């Protein structure tokens, strides 16, 4: 057994660190090692329990109701509000869209109006549930445009969405106005607070300026907020909160017309592990309201320091003053953004490249955790060194012929062999690779620069082909 655990530990050696305060995407680090031990013990203790039947495992029902109650209080929900624990932000978003669709059964071709900054999960929901996503361009402040949103609504519209804040730029949409226009039309307004919902209430309490965005805003019908982000819970837990039980009703699924047990589910999953529920519950008990205020203060002060570090670099510019703990910045022509990301990686800092979008250049994204506060001097130094190294290296050159080809390719016309060629050309698959034929270079500036030139449909197709080749059974 020890041998198996040792092999797991070895496998994990290739992963990004989850508790260094230096991985500034994907993971949210409280900086409290004892909290991680507690969470791991709770997940382990409940890993085999099943949320499928709340009467069979009343412990899970109790923990879910505790988690929802805490979330509702935090987000100033009125009496009568309810909620559901889901497996993550994407599931919360999918259910919000499904619920809106099914609340208006007479609408045969339902649509939702979303800002162009909305999380990709809403496009996944559109794809899964046949709801048209009407995408409204955001203004120069990267916030949803209220007049254009109103103009995009018609009789088919069942849902208006705003983010608090958006993932890419970290700013809060004008929720009061979006919710008002939804209420006027008798339709739903979902606030996607997956990433900011556990920080913004504390930011306001700490005296920072936070625009109104939660259930205190009339017309907001549901909110998604992830426990596994700034709730610092282990992965696999999010909340979908509803203003009242009528809003939630279309989400509840029951099926009696088969020879098995009567199926009764509140989420997309049926069998679902109690592990993440217990993990989130344990973390919530341990941290508590005062603890979250302290962790939010740390994350927000670390964010201020990250902004200052970026602004101290003449080659960098913060895209929008952050409303919570997410920072996006651009580079000028002297500093290649993708080389900068590689240089940060080499110094042990993971920051996330975001490709160009419409007329906006590529950006670098940083999600700041509480644990980052202890390392802001290291971040500032690494950023300064990385900018200098990227400027020194000069811009990444994409062969103009390759660039021209990329501009002309239509993903719909490409076959498997063409994708093999493209992946090889991009350096994502190489002959010198492992047995599985894949190579994942640590320096990715050239790949990113090439992908950055591709239009989104081609980028998506290449990445799907890449994922297809990544996901192959391990050779014996």
Interacting residues with ligand PLP (CB under 6 A)? 88-90, 93, 119, 121, 163, 167, 192, 194-195, 226, 238
* Token pair for 39: 């969470």
Question: Measured from the CB atom, is 89 or 274 closer to ligand PLP?
Answer: 89
CA distances from residue 437 to 101, 221, 326, 461 in whole angstroms, order as listed? 43, 48, 36, 19
29: phi > 0 → left, psi -120 to 50 → alpha, else beta; which?
Answer: beta
Which CB atom, from 92 or from 313, has the smaller least distance to ligand PLP? 92
Residue nearest to ligand PLP (CB): 89
Mention every residue, 6+ apart, whose C-beta is less than 8 A from residue 147: none
Is 463 in contact with 471 (CB distance < 8 Å)?
Answer: no
Question: Please, are residues 439 and 432 in contact by the beta-carbon 8 Å criterion?
Answer: yes
Contacts 24+ apart (CB under 8 A), 351-356: 351/24, 351/25, 352/24, 352/25, 353/444, 353/448, 354/168, 354/328, 355/448, 355/451, 355/452, 355/459, 356/452
| Structure-token match 């309810």, residue found | 82
Is the Cβ of residue 164 or residue 335 nearer to ligand PLP in the bound state? 164
Between 38 and 93, name the residue whose CB sits nearer to ligand PLP.
93
Distance between first and last Cα of the chain: 21
Minimal distance in Å, beta carbon 119 to ligand PLP?
Answer: 3
Query: Which residue in 270, 250, 210 sits closest to 99, CA to CA?
Result: 250
Closest CA to 370 of 278, 435, 305, 450: 305
Q: Which is nearer to ligand PLP, 238 or 267 (CB)?
A: 238
Minimum gap (Å) between residue 195 Cβ and ligand PLP: 3
For 219: left if phi > 0, alpha if psi spans -120 to 50, otherwise beta; the answer is: left
Question: Smallest gap, in angstroms, from Cβ of residue 122 to ligand PLP?
Answer: 8
When the beta carbons of 162 and 411 are compared against ligand PLP, the nearer one is 162
Tell me, what DSSP letter sits at residue 358?
T
Nearer to ligand PLP, 194 or 341 (CB): 194
- Shortest distance, position 325 Cβ to ligand PLP, whole Å: 11
| Rounded-to-integer distance, Cα 254 and Cα 270, Å | 11
Please tell me the distance from the alpha carbon of residue 418 to that of residue 423, in angstroms, as a whole number. Answer: 9
Q: In the complex, what is the shortest distance from the CB of residue 192 to ligand PLP, in angstroms, rounded to a whole number?
A: 5
Closest of 76, 57, 85 to residue 164, by C-alpha: 76
Minimum Å gap between C-beta 166 and ligand PLP is 6
Output the smallest distance, CB 444 to ligand PLP, in A.
Answer: 21
Q: Exposed e or buried b for every residue in 408-422, given b needs 16+ CB within 10 A? A: ebebeebeeeebeeb
Beta carbon nearer to ligand PLP, 119 or 272 = 119
Q: Find the shortest distance in angstroms from Cβ 165 to ligand PLP.
A: 7
42 or 95: CB nearest ligand PLP: 95
Smallest separation, CB 193 to ligand PLP (Å): 7
CB of 438 to ligand PLP, least distance (A): 24
Residue 100 or 428 with smaller CB distance to ligand PLP: 100
């Amino acid at each position: 057994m020890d041998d198996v655990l040792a092999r797991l530990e070895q496998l994990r050696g290739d992963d990004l660190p989850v508790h260094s305060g230096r991985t500034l995407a994907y993971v949210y680090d409280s900086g409290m090692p004892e909290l991680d031990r507690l969470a791991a013990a709770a997940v382990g203790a409940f890993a085999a329990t099943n949320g499928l039947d709340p009467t069979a495992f009343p412990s899970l029902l109790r923990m879910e109701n505790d988690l929802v109650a805490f979330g509702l209080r935090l987000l100033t929900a009125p009496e009568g509000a309810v909620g559901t624990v889901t497996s993550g932000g994407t599931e919360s978003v999918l259910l919000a869209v499904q619920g809106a669709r099914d609340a208006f059964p007479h609408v045969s071709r339902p649509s939702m109006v979303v800002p162009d900054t909305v999380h990709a999960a809403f496009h996944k929901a559109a794809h899964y549930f046949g709801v048209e996503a009407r995408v409204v361009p955001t203004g120069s402040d990267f916030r949803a445009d209220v007049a254009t949103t109103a103009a995009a609504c018609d009789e088919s519209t069942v849902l208006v969405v705003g983010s608090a804040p958006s993932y890419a730029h970290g700013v809060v949409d004008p929720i009061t106005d979006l919710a008002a226009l939804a209420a006027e039309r008798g339709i739903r307004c979902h606030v996607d607070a997956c990433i900011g919902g556990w920080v913004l209430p504390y930011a306001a309490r700490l005296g920072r300026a936070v625009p109104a965005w939660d259930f205190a805003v009339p017309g907001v019908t549901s909110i998604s907020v992830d426990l596994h982000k700034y709730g610092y819970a282990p992965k696999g837990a999010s909340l979908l909160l509803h203003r009242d039980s009528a809003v939630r009703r279309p989400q509840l699924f029951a099926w009696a017309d088969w020879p098995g047990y009567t199926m009764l589910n509140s989420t997309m999953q049926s069998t679902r592990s109690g592990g993440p529920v217990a993990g989130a519950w344990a973390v919530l008990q341990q941290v508590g309201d005062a603890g979250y205020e302290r962790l939010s203060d740390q994350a927000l002060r670390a964010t201020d320091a990250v902004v200052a570090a970026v602004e101290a670099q003449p080659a960098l510019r913060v895209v929008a003053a952050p409303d919570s703990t997410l920072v996006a910045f651009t580079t000028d022509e002297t500093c290649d953004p993708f080389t900068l990301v590689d240089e940060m990686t080499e110094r042990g800092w993971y920051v996330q490249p975001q490709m160009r979008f419409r007329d906006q250049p590529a950006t670098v994204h940083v999600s700041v955790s509480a644990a980052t506060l202890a390392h802001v001097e290291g971040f500032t130094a690494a950023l300064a060194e990385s900018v200098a190294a990227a400027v020194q290296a000069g811009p990444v050159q994409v062969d103009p012929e390759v660039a021209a080809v990329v501009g002309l390719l239509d993903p719909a016309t490409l076959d498997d062999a063409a994708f093999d060629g493209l992946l090889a050309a991009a350096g994502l698959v190489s002959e010198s690779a492992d047995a599985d034929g894949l190579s994942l270079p640590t320096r990715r500036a050239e790949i990113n620069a090439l992908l950055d030139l591709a239009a989104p449909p081609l980028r998506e197709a290449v990445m799907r082909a890449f994922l297809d080749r990544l996901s192959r059974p391990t050779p014996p």
